Chains A and B, each alone.
Chain A
Amino acid sequence: MRELKYKEAISEAHVQAMLKNPNIYMMGVGVADPTGIFGTTIAASKCFGKERVFDTPLSENTLTGIGIGSAMCGLRPILIHARNDFLLLTMDQIVNHAAKWNYMAGGKLPIPFLIRAIIGRGWGQAAQHSQSLQALFAHIPGLQVIMPSSPYDAKGLILSSMESDKTTICIEHRWLYEKSGPVPEEPYSIPFGKGTILRKGKDITLVAISHMTLEAKTAAEECSKENIDIEIIDPRSLRPLDEDLILSSIKKTGRLIIADAAWKMCGMSSEISALAAEKCFPYLKAPILRITLQDTPTPCSSVLETVYYPTSMNIVKAARSLFSGKPKDDAKEFIAAKSERDFSGPF
Chain B
Amino acid sequence: MNKSNSQLSPELAQKLYLSLLRCRKFEEKIVELYPQQEIRCPTHLSLGQEGVAAGVCSALEKEDLIFSTHRCHSHTIAKGADLKFLMAELYGKKTGCSKGKGGSMHFLQPEIGAMGASAIVGGTIPLAIGAALALKMKSKNQVSVAFFGDGAIEQGTFHEGLNFASLKKLPVLFICENNGLATCTPISSRQPFSDIYKRAESYMIPGNQVDGTNVHEVYQAAATAVERAKKGEGPTLIEAQCYRWREHVGPNFDYQLGFRSKEDVEKAIEKCPIKCLEEKIKNENILSKEILLEISDLVTKEIEESVNFAKESPFPQAEEIFMDL
Residues in A lying within 8 Å of B, measured CB to CB: 25, 51, 56-57, 59, 61-75, 77, 92-93, 96-97, 101-109, 141-142
Contacts and interface: CB of A to CB of B under 8 A. Distances in A.
B131 A108 contact: no
B135 interface: yes
A146 B325 CA distance: 18
B129 A104 contact: no
Interface stretch (B24-32, B99-107, B205-213): B99-107
B115 interface: yes
Interface in B121-139: 123-135, 137-138
A61 B124 CA distance: 11
Given A61-B126, A61-B156, A68-B126, A106 B133 contact: no
Given A65-B125, A102-B324, A105-B108, A97 B118 contact: yes
Given A65-B127, A66-B133, A57 B160 contact: yes
Contacts of A73: 65, 130-131, 134-135, 138
B131 A92 contact: no
A72 B323 CA distance: 18
A326 B160 CA distance: 61
25 contacts: A59-B156, A59-B160, A59-B164, A62-B126, A62-B160, A65-B125, A66-B127, A68-B127, A69-B127, A69-B132, A69-B133, A72-B130, A73-B134, A73-B135, A74-B138, A75-B138, A93-B126, A97-B123, A102-B324, A102-B325, A104-B98, A105-B110, A106-B102, A107-B99, A109-B115
Nearest to B120: A96
A67 B130 contact: yes
A25 B130 CA distance: 12
Interface string B182-205: 000000000000000000000000
Given A57-B160, A62-B157, A97 B127 contact: yes
A105 B130 contact: no
For the complex, would chain A's binding face be called helix, strand, loop or mixed by DSSP majority?
helix
Contacts of A77: 130
Size band of the B side of the interface? 35 or more
B133 to A, nearest CB: 5
B167 A57 contact: yes
Contact of A103 (B129, B134, B325): B325
B300 interface: no
Given A57-B167, A62-B129, A72 B115 contact: yes
Given A51-B137, A104-B116, A71 B130 contact: yes
B156 A62 contact: yes
Given A57-B163, A97-B120, A106-B101, A65 B108 contact: no
B67 interface: yes
Contacts of A142: 325
A104 B137 contact: no
Contacts of A69: 67, 115, 126-134, 144
